[in-house]
Chain A
């Protein structure tokens, strides 16, 4: 029998009684698809070696500047609230992660993904794909312009709806910092009902996924702005100035 929202709420509440710390509980039955898709054995702790101490390098040959604007990818203007999202990618010691790849994907303003598996009967927007890529600047800043995504239904339980979110894929300066996560918008009424968001049982850690409205990012007569800083875990190799300049040299070589 399919679960109701009330069933899921009870399970979310029960799971919150056994706090799992600041990362999502990968064993989180209220998110039904997780049941058979998480390891039951504890992860083996090792000191990273060799390639694990380094991250892949991306550069301007990988990402065009206009990929950071999701509103200009088609002939017309997409429908919805135009927004800018910006922030800094930092490592666990507060150092900026410079020249690194950030990938984003999202639903359109109506809550529909441009993906064949999305059968939600909300309209596609012929002027919106919902995919962006960018490189962080020297101080770790990323910035992109898009349309605010809508919430959408999914089949976890009866009447299940995801809070509006943007998917983020982020690399650090070593392999161990790899992060795929979701950025949410402040004040979403669906937060308490969503098992994916609630799989992080520490409320302070969950809050780290919520962007803040920032009037300084808002521009007159154009778009509203959100700020979201992304702190990764720490590096296992002390980054040197040389790392950054080495990347720049390589880019020059390729120029």
Chain B
């Protein structure tokens, strides 16, 4: 079957996609909360004020949760999914928990989707947790990509948080991902 093509999220996505607490997978006051944040930049290095990012992640134990509640957060249920729009400075932020490794020795990551006005189809990428050099070195994706661009997939640590910038184009362009069955669109 032929998959329906994507189209840009457009300039008015806040209307349909924004909801209270969308970027707070846990309350910022949660004792284990981390701030995952960064900027989205265009090919001229300018911030993109009308982008939206979604993250999908395991819990700190590495479990993939299959729980409703992301749209009506109760402050107690961790669902592993969130959405954040960039502000006028192109900055986004999430309050979340650090994902655990899916298996021992594997490098944990946030699965990230990027949408923006001007971007005709969504982009996929990963934001890996920094720190476990051995797991990162052994990772299938990180060991397959151009070493010069590898760092675009790894968040950097700061006090109380993780920084992950997205460069849509040009210098420091983020590595974006595609998956085998995305080619189904050609069927």
A residues with CB within 8 A of B: 21-26, 28, 31, 33-41, 43-52, 54-63, 90, 92-94, 101, 103-106, 113-115, 117-118, 129-131, 133, 167, 169, 175-176, 178-182, 196-197, 199-200, 204-206, 208-209, 230-236, 246-247, 250-251, 254
Interface of B is mostly: loop
Which range holds the interface residue count of chain B?
Answer: 35 or more
Given contacts A31-B120, A37-B119, contact A46 B140 (CB under 8 A): yes
Query: Could you tell me the distance in whole angstroms from the C-beta of B8 to the nearest C-beta in chain A?
Result: 6
Contact call A36/B68, Cβ cutoff below 8 A: no
B164 CB within 8 Å of chain A: no
Given contacts A105-B17, A169-B17, A205-B5, contact A199 B120 (CB under 8 A): yes
B38 CB within 8 Å of chain A: no
**Chain A, residue nearest B79 (CB):** A56
Give the complex CA separation of A7 and B69 in angstroms. Answer: 48
Residues on the B chain within 8 Å of A61, using CB: 68-69, 72
Given contacts A34-B120, A46-B179, contact A233 B68 (CB under 8 A): no
Query: Could you tell me the distance in whole angstroms from the C-beta of A3 to the nearest C-beta in chain B?
Result: 16
Residues on the A chain within 8 Å of B138, using CB: none
Query: Could you tell me the distance in whole angstroms from the C-beta of B180 to the nearest C-beta in chain A?
Result: 7
Contact call B4/A103, Cβ cutoff below 8 A: no
Contact call A133/B66, Cβ cutoff below 8 A: no
With A37-B48, A37-B169, A175-B111 already in contact, 9 other A-B pairs whose C-beta atoms are closer than 8 Å: A31-B118, A44-B144, A46-B178, A46-B179, A51-B56, A61-B72, A113-B12, A179-B4, A196-B8
Contact call A205/B6, Cβ cutoff below 8 A: no
B136 CB within 8 Å of chain A: no
**Binary A-proximity of B98-123 (CB < 8 A = 1, otherwise 0):** 01001000100101010111111111
B64 CB within 8 Å of chain A: yes
Residues on the B chain within 8 Å of A50, using CB: 58, 64, 102, 106, 109
Contact call B15/A115, Cβ cutoff below 8 A: yes
Q: Can you report 9 A-B residue pairs in the complex whose CB atoms are below 8 A from each other?
A: A21-B186, A37-B119, A46-B140, A58-B71, A175-B111, A176-B182, A200-B5, A209-B5, A254-B69
Contact call B81/A56, Cβ cutoff below 8 A: yes
Contact call A232/B140, Cβ cutoff below 8 A: no
Partner of A40, one of B7, B11, B141, B170: B170
B residues with CB within 8 A of A: 1-17, 42-44, 46, 48, 54, 56-58, 64-72, 79-81, 99, 102, 106, 109, 111, 113, 115-124, 140-141, 144-145, 149, 168-170, 173-182, 184-187
Give the complex CA separation of A181 and B6 in angstroms. Answer: 5
Query: Could you tell me the distance in whole angstroms from the C-beta of A69 to the nearest C-beta in chain B?
Result: 15
Contact call B5/A45, Cβ cutoff below 8 A: no
Partner of B186, one of A22, A57, A90: A22
Contact call B16/A62, Cβ cutoff below 8 A: no
Given contacts A41-B173, A51-B57, contact A167 B13 (CB under 8 A): yes
Residues on the B chain within 8 Å of A117, using CB: 11-12
Contact call A180/B68, Cβ cutoff below 8 A: no
Partner of B122, one of A57, A178, A206: A178
Residues on the A chain within 8 Å of B2, using CB: 22, 204-205, 208, 231
Residues on the B chain within 8 Å of A48, using CB: 179
Residues on the B chain within 8 Å of A209, using CB: 4-5, 7
Residues on the B chain within 8 Å of A23, using CB: 5-6, 121, 185
Residues on the A chain within 8 Å of B168, using CB: 36-39
Give the complex CA separation of A121 and B58 in angstroms. Answer: 46
Contact call B68/A58, Cβ cutoff below 8 A: yes
